């Protein structure tokens, strides 16, 4: 039976329209900024979904593309990161080659991506940078397969797949984005066909259907996360990390999420003593768990950029304006016109996972106490 591609297109458009219900849910704040960002979020997810499920969906001819970047954001995307995805099939074998850049952190993970079905992204295998054999100039070759490769150096750089693996993700993190650069990587199927088959209606219909499911599924998943964090506003609850691993989190990172809500004349003050770790960062996100616009505003701080007081405490002040305190080290984070949203503190490779102390104060009280 032939596929009616026009009907598939209509179904795709209808499912996108249905996704608007996530934005218009009764418990979503009616703040015009939150609602407007919500519909922009759906448009961004639509763009990302079409890239993943239509343009880059052929597991015989994969390539690395960015599923999260400056204008396309999912699940508290890290402003310090570059994310590169490649769509694959766990039934195939792949070779990843390239050269590492100057970013301090690298990991590669194979996931069974089910965001479009149940909001999960189960990791089937992963390699951290210190588990990888790099050449003298940062060059690398990694084999991704269900069974270990044979021959000389077999298994040295092996990324384990499972039959349901559907995507390989490279994460690269910078302490200073102004000076560090990511590496460049290429992926190819081993033993695949020479050229892609012509596009057919059934394949496009399948991709459109998955893309529409992705938009609604991702939006619903992270709206539900926000609802969970909102149960303890302006505090960092101790949440089982299995939830974040299911959503595609890295195995060496502890995620401390929070929900914040302050008036324009208030500040959310966060204090914590960072543990021994190779990386940490704090970022402010909107209701939809998109990082705020780090291209133009100060919305994040990390191990490299943070000002730390003499006792080792990091003090973060989230407010509509910089209070301009003259005493004590502090790090101002711009709320960018928002009065509520989500936030995330990451501890990577940490010896402990302390949860910050947080409180809401009047800006004028901070300034008065500093006078």
Which has the higher per-residue pLDDT, 118 or 323? Answer: 323
Among 81-85, 246-250, 325-329, 341-345, the minimum mean pLDDT is found in 246-250
CATH class of 230-370: mainly beta
The 10s digit of each residue's pLDDT in 217-241 is 999 999 999 999 999 999 999 999 9
Interval 44-99: pLDDT, tens:
999 999 999 999 999 999 999 998 999 999 999 999 999 999 999 999 999 999 99
Q: If we measure between CA atoms, which residue out of 164, 176, 187 comes closest to residue 96?
A: 187
Quickly state the pLDDT bin for 249 (edges 50, 70, 90): confident
Among the listed residues 29, 75, 41, 79, the one whose alpha carbon sits nearest the alpha carbon of residue 293: 79
From start to end of 273-355, where are the E strands? 279-285, 300-302, 314-319, 331-334, 340-348
Flag whether pLDDT at 262 surpasses 80: yes
Q: Is the pLDDT of residue 369 over 90?
A: no
**Contact indicator for 333, 299 with CB cutoff of 8 Å:** yes
Backbone angles phi, psi at 246, to 5 degrees: -60, -35
User: Which pLDDT score is estimated for 250?
Assistant: 78
Question: Residue 358 in contact with residue 343, Cβ under 8 Å?
Answer: no
Closest CA to 126 of 93, 168, 98: 168
Supply 211's token pair: 């893309």
Quickly list DSSP for 23-79.
HT-TTS---HHHHHHHHHHHHHHHHHHHIIIIIT--TTS---B-SSBTTB--SS--T
Contact, 336 vs 321, CB < 8 A? no
120 or 49: which leads in pLDDT? 49
How is 75-139 classified by DSSP, letter by letter? SS--TTEEEEEEE--TTSEEEEEEE--S-SEEEEEEEEEETTTTSEEEEEEEEEGGGS---TTSE
Share of the chain above pLDDT 90, in %: 86
- Helix, strand, coil shares of the chain, percent, nearest 5, are 25, 30, 45
Q: What is the CATH number of domain 59-190?
A: 2.60.120.600
| Tokens linked to 150 | 């044979």
Q: What is the pLDDT of residue 115?
A: 61
- For the chain, give the mean pLDDT: 93
How far apart CA 159 and CA 161 sit, in angstroms, is 6
The domain locations on the chain are: 1-57+196-223, 59-190, 230-370
How many residues in the chain? 371
Residue in 358, 268, 282, 246 with CA at minimum distance from that of residue 317: 268
Round to whole Å and give the CA distance between 35 and 228: 19
Does the pLDDT at position 117 exceed 70?
A: no
Q: Do the domains spanning 59-190 and 230-370 agree at the CATH topology level?
A: yes
Confidence of residue 322 (pLDDT cuts 50, 70, 90): very high
Q: How confident is the model at residue 155 (pLDDT cuts 50, 70, 90)?
A: low
Structure confidence at residue 52 (pLDDT): 93
- Point out the least confidently predicted range of 111-120, 144-153, 308-317, 361-370: 111-120
Q: Is the pTM of this model over 0.85?
A: yes
Secondary structure class of 179 (helix, strand, coil):
coil
């Amino acid at each position: 039976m032939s596929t009616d591609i026009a009907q598939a297109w209509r179904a795709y458009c209808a499912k996108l329209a249905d996704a608007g219900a996530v934005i218009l849910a009764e418990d979503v704040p009616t703040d015009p900024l939150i609602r407007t960002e919500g519909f922009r979020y759906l448009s961004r997810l639509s763009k990302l979904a079409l890239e993943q499920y239509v343009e880059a969906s052929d597991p015989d001819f994969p390539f690395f593309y960015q599923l999260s970047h400056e204008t396309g954001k999912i699940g508290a995307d890290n402003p310090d990161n570059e994310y590169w995805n490649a769509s694959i099939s766990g039934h195939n074998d792949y070779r990843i080659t390239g050269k590492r850049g100057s970013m301090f952190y690298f990991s590669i993970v194979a996931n069974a991506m089910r965001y479009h079905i149940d909001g999960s992204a189960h990791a089937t295998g992963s390699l951290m940078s210190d588990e990888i054999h790099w050449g003298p100039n940062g060059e690398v070759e990694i084999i991704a397969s269900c069974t270990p490769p044979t021959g000389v150096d077999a298994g040295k750089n092996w990324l384990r797949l499972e039959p349901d693996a559907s995507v390989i993700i490279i994460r690269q993190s910078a302490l200073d984005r102004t000076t560090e650069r990511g590496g460049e990587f290429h992926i190819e199927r081993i033993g695949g066909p020479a050229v892609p088959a012509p596009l057919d209606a059934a394949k496009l219909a399948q991709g459109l259907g998955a893309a529409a499911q992705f938009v609604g599924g991702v939006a619903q998943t992270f709206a539900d996360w926000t609802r969970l964090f909102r149960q303890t506003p302006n505090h960092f609850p101790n949440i089982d990390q299995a939830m974040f691993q299911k959503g595609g989190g890295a195995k060496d990172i502890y995620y401390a999420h929070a929900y914040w809500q302050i008036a324009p004349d208030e500040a959310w003050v966060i204090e914590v003593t960072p543990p021994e770790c190779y990386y940490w960062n704090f970022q402010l996100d909107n209701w939809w768990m998109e990082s705020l616009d780090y291209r133009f505003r100060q919305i994040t701080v990390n191990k490299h950029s943070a000002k730390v007081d003499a006792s080792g405490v990091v003090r973060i002040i989230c407010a509509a304006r910089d209070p301009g305190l003259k005493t004590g080290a502090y790090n101002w984070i711009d709320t960018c016109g928002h009065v509520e949203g989500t936030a995330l503190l990451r501890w990577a490779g940490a010896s402990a996972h302390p949860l910050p102390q947080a409180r809401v104060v009047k800006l004028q009280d901070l300034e008065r106490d500093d006078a």
